[in-house]
Amino acid sequence: MLWAVRLLSTRQSVSRCVPGARRLLSGPSSDHVEIFGVRYPTDSITNVTPAILAKLPQRLHAVPAHPLSTLRSLIESHYPDFAHLSSLSPLVTPYKNFDELSFPKDHPGRAVTDSYYINKDLMLRTHTSAHEVEVFREGKDKFLLTADVYRRDEIDGSHYPVFHQMEGAHIFNADASGLKAVEEDNERLAQQLAMSNIVIEDVPHISSTNPAQPSHDPIYSEAVARNLKLSLNTLMLRLFGGVAGATNENPLRVRWIEAYFPFTSPSFEVEVFFQGKWLEILGCGVVRQATLDTAGIPNKIGWAFGLGLERIAMILYSIPDIRLFWSQDPRFLSQFEEGKITAFRPYSKYPSCFKDVSFWSPKDENLHENDFCDLVRDVAGDIVEDVKKIDEFVHPKTGRTSTCFRINYRSMDRSLSNDEVNGIQAEVVSRLKEQMGVEIR
């Protein structure tokens, strides 16, 4: 699910086109985009770029020996009796991505500044939960679903517009037999954890600030929430216990925090104490009954969680820059073996080359930072390490907005010459003027 969403100060509905978003698709073929050999019409909110479309076939989570694939396999091995799904199309409808999961109509994740739209009726999924209803509807009561997901984002060492999520879910019959099965599983898991090197800082399974849903029996909801916690505590021990060197004297520390998500209640976040600090690992909760009703299984109750594979792999493999997951450099790929987690050994740190660009936005239009980042990615690809907005002001007489961005060019694989960077920067400036209608200062 969209377990962690950075709220925007300005909320925009999908029906509003951010200035410049449509213009990212320029040229003779801008009336359509081709994806997996199929042509799709574009419209006023189309904002997917060629750089993003080029990522769709790569499916890093299925590449043998790749860190993301190894991590996926490790989690799947922890849930051997769950269905393991990893081949669903990234193209979904906005209804499937948001409405089936009870997202509010004004949720910021719907905005074209946050999500990639093929057109008003089709988008790239922003989370694996976009497939939750269809998988429940197929009759699967416990599954792990791994997929590439797409969100417009800033450029830095920990954010990338394409990343990989794993969704886990387990549902039960909402009757006495289902409650008995949950309670029996809870006792099994509790006994297993009692003999393990783990200390858990817990919060109430349900509370006035993190309540059971009105349609749920509080006793059953509490049992399901406990089952969720116990199950994920064993997963945290599996993932981090070994690399953290957990012992009886120095056990793995896990803590639970009350949270809010529009698609679960009660809801929680899980953190692990690793290398001297608390790290946020995943979000989870008891599935909204409306989701199960939409899936045609109203007599069920269950839990779900969502985690980002890159976030965990960067911790376990000591990978410092999220761009490295996409590297084809043998010095990166040769370090990893199928089924083994080994610390990444940096092979070089090439120098940075900083370039600034300042411009006036068209009158009555403000260029969103994600539009700028997408344009930079489309021109420069992964040789940009980060982009920072270093200045912005509004002219008191004209009302126009002036913005200055600083682009940090640094390849992970080689040194960049100043002439090469100047050429790329010139193309960025040219595209800004042509596609965004800005006036360079």
Q: Which two tokens stand for residue 109?
A: 């994740």
Residue 136 structure tokens: 């429940």
In SS3 terms, the chain reads as: CCCCCCCCCCCCCCCCCCCCCHHHCCCCCCCEEEECCEEEECCCCCCCCHHHHCCCCCCHHHCCCCHHHHHHHHHHHHCCCCEEECCCCCEECHHHHCHHHCCCCCCHHHCCCCCCEEECCEEECCCHHHHHHHHHHCCCCEEEEEEEEECCCCCECCECCEEEEEEEEEEEECCHHHHHHHHHHHHHHHHHHHCCCEEEECCCCCECCECCCCCCCHHHHHHHHHHHHHHHHHHHHHHHCCCCCCCCCCCEEEEEEEEEECCEEEEEEEEEEECCEEEEEEEEEEECHHHHHHCCCCCEEEEEEEEEHHHHHHHHCCCCCHHHHHCCCHHHHCCCCCCCCCCCCCCCCCCCEEEEEEEECCCCCCCCHHHHHHHHHHHHHHHEEEEEEEEEEECCCCCCEEEEEEEEECCCCCCCCHHHHHHHHHHHHHHHHHHHCCEEC
CA distance 217 to 213: 8
Extract the tokens encoding 135.
């998988």
Average pLDDT along the chain: 91
Compute the distance between CA of residue 181 and CA of residue 159 in angstroms, rounded to an integer.
40
CA distance 368 to 340: 41
| pLDDT band per the 50, 70, 90 thresholds, residue 214 | very high
Judge whether residue 81 has pLDDT over 60. Answer: yes
> Percent of the chain at pLDDT above 90?
85
Per DSSP, what are the bridge partners of residue 199?
A: 253
pLDDT at 10 > cutoff 90: no
Q: Which residue has the tokens 């793995």?
A: 252
Residues 6+ apart with CB under 8 A from 30: 42
In this prediction, residue 102 carries a pLDDT of 84
Burial 102-120 (b: 16+ CB within 10 A, else e): bbeeebbbbbbbbbbbbbb
110: tokens are 């719907």
pLDDT band at 16 (very low <50, low <70, confident <90, very high): very low
Token code pair at residue 441: 């200062």
What is the mean predicted confidence (pLDDT) over 228-252? 94
Per cent of the chain over pLDDT 70 is: 93
Structure tokens at 307: 């985690």
Closest by CA to 96, choosing from 138, 126, 119, 116, is: 126
Would the pLDDT of 415 be above 80?
Answer: yes
**Which of 60-74, 135-149, 350-364, 418-432 is least confident?**
350-364
Q: What is the mean pLDDT of the segment spanning 195-209?
A: 97
State how far the Cα of 426 lies from the Cα of 424, in Å rounded to an integer. 5
Banded model confidence at residue 207, pLDDT cuts 50, 70, 90: very high
How do residues 139-163 score in pLDDT, each as one tens digit?
Answer: 999 999 999 999 999 999 999 999 9
- Mean pLDDT of the region 359-376: 89
Q: What is the pLDDT of residues 391-411, one digit of tens each?
A: 999 989 888 899 999 999 999
Q: What is the pLDDT of residue 146?
A: 98
pTM of structure: 0.89
The CA distances from residue 438 to 23, 28, 59, 341, 405, in Å, are: 12, 22, 36, 47, 13
Cα gap 375→75, rounded to integer Å: 36
The band of 9, judged by pLDDT with boundaries at 50, 70 and 90, is: very low
Query: What pLDDT is attached to residue 24?
Result: 52
With a cut of 70, say whether residue 178 has pLDDT above it: yes
What is the CB neighbour count within 10 angstroms for residue 415? 11
